[in-house]
Structures are given as C-alpha cells and as structure tokens.
Homo-oligomer: A and B are copies of this chain.
Amino acid sequence: MNTKRIENVLNRTECDALLICDPAAIYYLINAHIYPGERFLGLLLKKDEAPKLFLNTLFPFEGRKGLEVVSYSDGDDITELLEQHIKKSDVLGIDKNLAARFLLPAIKKQIAADFTDGSLPVDQTRAIKDEEELELLRISSRINDEAMAIFKTLVYEGVKEQQIAAQMLDIYKKLGAEAYSFTPIVAFGKNAADPHHMPDDTKLQIGDAVLFDVGCVYHGYCSDMTRTFFFKQGPTDIQKKVYDLVRKANEDAEAYVKEGVRLCDIDKTARDVIEQGGYGKYFTHRLGHFIGIEDHEYGDVSAAFKDLTKAGNVFSIEPGIYDPQTLGCRIEDLVIVTKDGAEILNHYPHDIEIIG
C-alpha cells in the first residue's frame, strides 16, 4: 500500500469519502492488480480512517498492512454493502468510471448526501509522477526505442500488416517488457491516414508509408511512440512537405514544453505549424495524452485543456496529418515536464527514413 499517494489524494479532495473503482487507480494506491470483470471493486478512502477495499470473495488477495478488506459474495447487494460504510450525510466522490449499474441504485437509495465525480484528486496525484515512476517510464520508452529499430527491419514487399504486428509482442518480451501498452498500430499506405487503423491483411507495396504506433509495459508502466517510414522509395515532394510539417509540429511543441505553460498552448504550438502549412483540417485529434500505469491517463494536450503543466507530468506529443490523397503521417514521443523544459523519453530519430 502506498500511504503517501493515498495521503496526497485525500489532501486534494473536499469530499467526505472517495470511492475509487478503477483497477489502475487501485493498483496505483495499494499496489495490487485486481481486475474484477463485471463484478464490483471499490476502494473507499476517508481522512482519519483506514482505507477499505470492497472485494468479491472470488478474487484471492493477500491483504495489505493498514487496509481493511470488506468481502462480499455473488448475490450480495452492493448498495447495501456500501451503505454500511458510508454516512448518509457524506458527500461522496465517485470514480469517474463507476458503471451506472452501481451508481444509479446508490443515488436512488440516497446512501450519501451528494454524489460527485471524485476522480480528479486521484487523477491529479497520478499526473505528477514520483521518481520511482519516472525511472520505470524511462526504461519502458528505452525498450520502445529498441523495439522500433527492430520492427522496421521486419518489412518486405507483400508482407501483411497483421504479420508484422503478430511478431511485436515477442520482440518486446525479449527486450524485457511484460506486455503491450495497447494493441499496436501497423498501417501501410493509405491506412496510415486513419489514425485508429487496426492491422489487417493489407500487403506492403513499394512506395508505401509504414506507420508504427507502438508501446509496451515495463514493471507496470507504459510507453507509446509513433514513427512513419517509407518503404523502398523516398517520399514525393508533397509527401516530404507533409512529413516535414509533422516533424516541425512535433519538435516545436517539444521545445515549448516546460513547467508552468498551459497544455492547450502546447497543442496550439503544434497545431499552428500544421495550419500554417495548409493541413489544419487533416490534424483531427488532440496533440497528446498523459500516460503512466495506463496508456491513456487523465490529462490532455488539447485546446480544451487549459491546466498548467507541472514538473513530473508525462505525456505524448503526437501531431499527425491524415490526408488520404497524399500521406498519413504521425510522429510521437513521450516527454517528462521539468522545471526548465522537457526530458524527451524517445530517442529514435525523427528523420525521413527509407526502410526495406
């Protein structure tokens, strides 16, 4: 159990109690991986009380010093269970991911005086990584750099996206990672112009763009990087223009990062480059997302997110241009915010590279 993190969370909330249900948040707070499927899992935090974990008896759990475990069985009424541990007068902070099937009955039965989204204190605590976390994130991205250098050697004319993707997990494991941080994206040619393309039977052809958006998990911490290569032939002039815009957007944004700037302004830095280049409408997503135990954590680098960066924030910088007529291209790195700038976690170069 990480009492320091729990303390940080409780210091950030005005709720009387927080009911945390997200398995990743629970892992962060009590260092236990519990994935309850459709069953209820909850960590109840209150100031001056021991944390309580509501856990189905089906899941073996060896306990944690200072943690009270409230066991229940299939068939037990979860609302009644919670009612025994929450005061009717409490303002209850609810996990943002709590499913309606647990939340609606609790609201109808008024087991608390008010229900509010209680995830922000957890998210804000998680958004500032401690030294132990930063070191794991560095290693995870180092493995990802090494993996990228191997992935690019797997291509040959006619290979299918899926055939490349199928080899990646083994490569990560040999490099010391334990899992994917997300299903890898391998996109050839026009498929690279779909930012969420999933590897399919598309065969690689000479002149195709080859986009890898990949990441692994190392000791529970995620990496995430994208590079766009060209197969056997260099880009056309217009493709080169697109690539260079994306690269400049990435590098200008990374140079802008430091503690105390608005996240939306980092997004704007990259977006301005692409808009001024005439491709604004093809940059269809936010510039980046926070990352840590999960590939996507609370915190956006987007126009909508006006918070200031803090030292210890870790997020992606991933501008892209998705023009089906010309090129789909994304260049993504992870960065740690520092007092004076950014520590870029990915060292795989940004240069145009012809592979195969």
Contact = CB atoms under 8 A, between A and B. Distances in A.
Interface stretch (A96-104, A227-235, A341-349): A96-104
B104 A284 contact: no
Contact of A58 (B37, B94, B95, B284): B284
Interface of A is mostly: loop
Most chain B C-beta atoms within 10 Å of own C-beta, residue among A95, A100, A284, A300: A100
A97 B94 contact: no
A116 B97 contact: no
Interface string A125-148: 000000000000000000000000
Interface in A43-97: 57-60, 74-75, 94-97
Nearest to A19: B100
A105 B300 CA distance: 20
A226 interface: no
Interface in A201-244: none
A248 interface: no
A97 B101 contact: yes
A132 B96 CA distance: 37
Contacts of A59: 196
30 contacts: A37-B296, A38-B296, A57-B284, A58-B195, A58-B196, A58-B284, A59-B196, A60-B196, A74-B285, A74-B286, A74-B300, A74-B302, A74-B304, A75-B286, A75-B302, A75-B304, A95-B100, A96-B99, A96-B101, A97-B100, A98-B99, A98-B100, A100-B103, A103-B103, A103-B104, A104-B115, A104-B116, A104-B117, A105-B117, A107-B107
